[in-house]
Structure 1
């Protein structure tokens, strides 16, 4: 008696599911293979419209973080501008009374710390935190009331020269903790009390 293994062919539904799974794995692999670059000209320059706070930013390639970095390749890595914009929108939304709108344009960012080339093998990708490298964010904003009138507007230059003396923010594993604290400080000062 002879046994033969017959090939098993998947049903059309299973074949579609497998093809979809393979496409997803290829897309994820491509995303992992290419680290994001904050200066990518194809990257968006604003958050999608959602809620009372609109956040956009100018070209990150012109930000101080990139122009004056000790390691521009590392400074461009990631999507930290988008992450800060998302954080700003979420925190500002919590403070606005119903009907008010806030439009913010981030025009410059210098993250806390800096890369110091020449410190040894592999050290050029380490961000050193020193007093001489405080975080700074420059932004333009306009606060509009429910009736359409402009309540406040202007340019703000946020900076924290004592960022290392203030102690570490609560989430000290967040690479943007000092910049997020700048945003929180500005919102507390500019908008005083959170919306009820």
Structure 2
């Protein structure tokens, strides 16, 4: 009987460890979550990403659905909204559509098939529905917003910022700054 080599044992351990912490390889994975775990005053959920404009109109669907960028945006939204939401209030957000900044241009040649090209004709867009309630559960504000930043290439971004979701995060920051300002008009009051 042969004994396994050290390399085979190391490989088996690495594969087992990787599988234990594996996130979905695709945002359209049926096993992928459609909401963040309930935590804190802000709850974020989203529709099936396969219906998002980012995937429906992509010129490189395979590359567009790679990774877990929907969860990353939802986590960012929850973190930012939690820090801006007044004490005692709660917020529920449903992301209904996303079109990320930039697009793929396969006509640029095979070397650029999987490169997201940033042009002003490809602005980031996020559609969402939200409800803000007070400590007693009374609705303070609610609505549907269609966020778009047509001047995303002209905004202030650091040259060192390599976050692939920086334009979408800035779009969410701008919305939260407008929506959760202290002097905002509220529904139902």
Task: Decide: shared fold, TM above 0.5.
Answer: yes
Q: Secondary structure at the match of 1:41?
A: coil
Query: 2:86 matched to 1:97?
Result: yes
TM-aligned CA deviation for residue 175 of structure 1: 0.3
Q: 2:29 aligns with which of 40, 45, 67?
A: 40
Q: Runs of 4+ in structure 1 displaced over 4 angstroms?
A: 21-24, 29-35
Partner of 1:26: 15
In the TM superposition, what is the alpha-carbon distance from 1:64 to its structure 2 partner? Answer: 0.3
RMSD of aligned alpha carbons: 2.3
Larger Rg: 1
Structure 1 residue 170, shift from structure 2 partner: 7.2
Question: In the alignment, which residue of structure 2 is the partner of 1:113?
Answer: 102
C-alpha deviations, 1:114-149, integer Å up to 9, x for none?
001121122110000000000000000000001211
Q: Are the equivalent residues in 1 in contact too, given 2:127–2:145 (CA < 8 A)?
A: yes
**8 A contact 1:169–1:178 mirrored in 2:** no
Alignment gaps of 5+ in structure 2: 1-8, 183-189
* Contact persistence 1:169–1:177 (CA under 8 A): no
- State the TM-score, normalized to the length of structure 2: 0.85
CA distance in 2, matches of 1:98, 1:125: 44
User: In structure 2, what is the Cα distance between the partners aligned to 1:24 and 1:145?
Assistant: 49
Matches within 5 A, 1:45-56: 45-56=34-45
Take 1:169 and 1:144, find their aligned partners in 2: how far apart are those partners?
35
Distance 1:122 1:29, change over 3 A: farther
Bigger shift: residues 47-56 or 169-178 = 169-178
Residues 109-188 of structure 1: matches in 2 within 5 Å?
109-169=98-158, 172-188=161-177
Structure 2 residue aligned with 1:63, among 35, 52, 62?
Answer: 52
* Structure 1: gaps spanning 5 or more residues: 1-18
8 Å CA contact retained: 2:131, 2:142 = yes
More displaced 10-residue stretch of structure 1: 118-127 or 102-111:
118-127
Q: Distance in 2 between matches of 1:104 and 1:156?
A: 11
